[in-house]
Structure 1
C-alpha cells in the first residue's frame, strides 16, 4: 500500500516543464506554474488507497475499542461479583446479628417475666410469713396470759395450802 501511495504522490506533484518558462518580464512575486491534472484513474487509486488506509485504521481502532470494552466489561463483571459476595456476607452477618438480638431480647423478657413471677412469689411468701408471724404473736400473747394465769393460780394454790395447813394444825 505504501508503494501505491508513493507513486501517487509522484504523479500529483506540480512540475514545471522546460517549455513552460516564465514570461520575459515577470514581477518578482508573481510566478505562474502550469499544473498537470492527474488522470481519473489516479484519483480513484488515490481515493481507494485512502479509503483502505482509513478502513484499516478504523478497524484497528474498533478492535482496540472492542478489546478495551471487553476488558472494561470483564473487570466490571469481576468487581460486580466481588461486590455481590460482600453483600451476601454482609446480609448473612446482619441476619446473624438480628437473630442474636432477638434471642437476647427474648432472654431479657424471660428474665423480667421470671423476675416478676419471682417477685410475686416472694410477695406471697412474705404475706404468708407475716400472717404466720401475726398468728405466732397472738399465740405468744395467749401463752404470756396463760403463764401469768398459771403463776397467779400457783400463788393462790400456795396461799390455799398455807391456809389449809394452818387450819389443820
Structure 2
C-alpha cells in the first residue's frame, strides 16, 4: 500500500474542475478519471485480492465524492434559482409600488392643474372687474375735475365781463368828474 502511495505521488495528478467541463460531459469525465485512477492502482503490482479491495474502496470513494459534488451543485442551483426568484419578486413589488406612486402623483398633478386653471379664470374676471372699477373711478374723477374746471372757466369769464363793465363805468365816472371840475 505504501508503494502505491509513493507511486501515486510520483505521477502528476490530472484534475479538471467542474467549470472546465460541460454539464453533459461531467459524468463522462468523472468516469474516465475514475478509470485512469483505477488502472494506476491496478498496475502497482499488488495481489488480486488487495487490488479488488482497493478498487472497491476507490470506486466507493469516487461515487461518494460524485454524489457530494452533485448534491452541492444541486443545492447551489436551487439557491441561485431561489435568489433569482426572490430578486425578481422584490423587483416586481418595487415596480408595483412605484407604479402606484406614479399614478397618485399623476392624479395630484391633474387636480392641481385644474385648480390653477380655475384660479386663473377667476383672476381674469377679477382683474377685468377690478380694471373696470378702477377705470370707472378714474373716469368719474376726471369728469368731476373737468366739470369743476368748466365752472371755474365760467366764473372767470363772468368775472372778466364784470371787470370790463366796472372799468367802463369807472372811465365814464372819471369823464363826468373831469367835466364837473372844469
Judging by fraction of residues, say which structure has more helix: 2
Gaps of 5+ in 2: 1-50, 164-182
The Cα of 1:63 is off from its aligned counterpart by: 6.9
Could you say which residue in structure 1 is the equivalent of 2:149? 155
Cα distance in 2 for residues equivalent to 1:147 and 1:108: 57
For residue 132 of structure 1, the aligned residue among 121, 126, 151 is 126
Supply the RMSD in Å over aligned alpha carbons. 3.3
Could you say which residue in structure 2 is the equivalent of 1:76? 70
1:30-69 to 2 correspondence within 5 Å?
68-69=62-63
Cα distance in 2 for residues equivalent to 1:115 and 1:154: 57
Structure number with greater Rg is 1
State TM-score, norm by structure 1.
Answer: 0.54
The superposition leaves residues 108-166 of structure 1 with CA deviations (integer Å, 9 ceiling, x where unpaired) of 22222221111111111111111111101211331232023112221233134436656
State TM-score, norm by structure 2.
Answer: 0.50
**Alignment of 1:96 onto 2:85:** no
**Alignment of 1:142 onto 2:97:** no
Q: Greater shift after overlay, 89-98 or 156-165?
A: 156-165
Could you say which residue in structure 2 is the equivalent of 1:86? 80
Cα distance in 2 for residues equivalent to 1:80 and 1:155: 108
Cα distance in 1 for residues equivalent to 2:132 and 2:154: 32
Gaps of 5+ in 1: 1-56
